[in-house]
Amino acid sequence: MRREQIQAVRDMNAYFPKVVEQLKGMGDACNLIGESDWLEKLLYYTVPGGKMVRAVTVYEGIMVLGGRDTPGLKEKAMNIAWSMEMVQASMLIADDISDESFKRRGRDSWHVIAGKDAVFDAILVSTCAYALLGMHCDGEAFHRSLRNYNEILFQICMGQNQDNHCTDPLQGKAKFDEFNMDRYTRVCEHKSGGYTFFLPMSTALNVCGIFDEAAHDAARDISSDLGLLYQVQDDYLDTYGIIRKMGKGRTDIKNGKCTWIIVEAINRANDEQRQRLKENYGYDDPKKVDKVLEVFTELKMKEVFLQWEKSMMDKIEGKIRKYSDLVNPEVFTQSLESIKYHINR
């Protein structure tokens, strides 16, 4: 992240208690003993502490498009930024339950603390995102943003289901023969491109009164590439990242996920390597995982990723220049900068 983005995150973290107080006030109005305190604990535990990519994207977008000196804009931007992070937090709670992942951001996943009731907490955090948006956005901007929230959340769930369905529930094996780049990129567009980049960008445009369809189409086009880049980076981290820095364990290989790493490896492998991948991918067995990693090493997948990443960044920078007459380029540049250097090289 750039220095300005780091400062924005600090400002948002300092403001977070005010966000919780607003939502806790809604909880108090329900007059249910202890539930407002549970909501407070839930929000403090699950919402802050991430990379804040979505929050920074919408915050910086609003500040750039609306004018940093506009009275009250900073507070509005911070509230909407936290609304975006609550969308992310709700998905992570559900994702950890689905993946049976017991660590998140270096500590116990929420479902380890809350048990099976964490399912409802994921829904609760999601409703907080909508509530916070409604408190700080109105008129046409709110209606357009709400429509985008609903559309993108639907797409996230569809993409997540496609990701989860990479494993045959009857045989408990990865659907290895169905892995291909077309399937992968479509999942990325719904899982990452939409809610990591397009939702924050389109919300910033709406909040600042920019309803021009061409501007939103430009945001969607660039978001698609940013989302692919971001998801591929996450796939790389799950395979090669430093666990202590990631704050979570490696799960993609043993869970048989359709990742960029495995799809690209399949495309590059010879028949013998492909057979070894097929025999060992998607098993919760450390020896089989190691055999998959051996093939990745033979295929030099680290180097392959780094070359692909560089070409993808160049492509995105070209699109930012292409759309500079429609939308202030800084809206897109800051999104690219926020994810440019978070890979452990």
The identity of residue 121, as a single letter, is: D
Q: Do domains 1-136 and 141-344 have the same CATH topology?
A: yes
**Average pLDDT, integer, range 119-146:** 94
pTM of the predicted structure, to 2 decimals: 0.85
In angstroms, rounded to a whole number, what is the distance separating the alpha carbons of residues 207 and 204?
5
Residue 328, φ and ψ in degrees, nearest 5 = -50, 120
> In CATH, what class is 1-136?
mainly alpha
In angstroms, rounded to a whole number, what is the distance separating the alpha carbons of residues 193 and 156?
10
Could you tell me which residues come within 8 angstroms of residue 255 by beta carbon, excluding any fewer than 6 positions away? 99, 167, 282, 284
In angstroms, rounded to a whole number, what is the distance separating the alpha carbons of residues 63 and 286?
48
* Strand-pair category, 103-104 with 107-108: antiparallel
pLDDT band with cut points at 50, 70 and 90 for residue 174: low
Nearest in space to 339 (alpha carbons), one of 182, 223, 219, 189:
223
**Average pLDDT, integer, range 116-123:** 92
Compute CA distances 72 → 34, 172, 273, 299, whole Å.
33, 53, 59, 54
User: Residue holding tokens 């993108």?
Assistant: 152
Domain ranges of the chain: 1-136, 141-344
The identity of residue 268, as a single letter, is: R
Res 104 pLDDT > 80: yes
Asked if residues 316 and 225 have their Cβ atoms less than 8 Å apart, the reply is yes
Residues 182-236: tens digit of each pLDDT = 888 887 877 777 888 999 999 999 999 999 999 999 999 999 999 999 999 989 9
Please tell me the predicted confidence (pLDDT) of residue 345: 46
Asked if residues 207 and 133 have their Cβ atoms less than 8 Å apart, the reply is no
Please tell me the predicted confidence (pLDDT) of residue 340: 74
Does CATH number 3.40.50.720 belong to domain 141-344? Answer: no
Q: What percent of the chain has pLDDT over 90?
A: 63
In angstroms, rounded to a whole number, what is the distance separating the alpha carbons of residues 132 and 122?
16
Return left, alpha or beta for 69; rule: phi > 0 is left, psi -120 to 50 is alpha, else beta.
Answer: alpha
Residues 222-274: tens digit of each pLDDT = 999 999 999 999 899 989 876 555 455 567 898 888 899 999 999 999 999 99
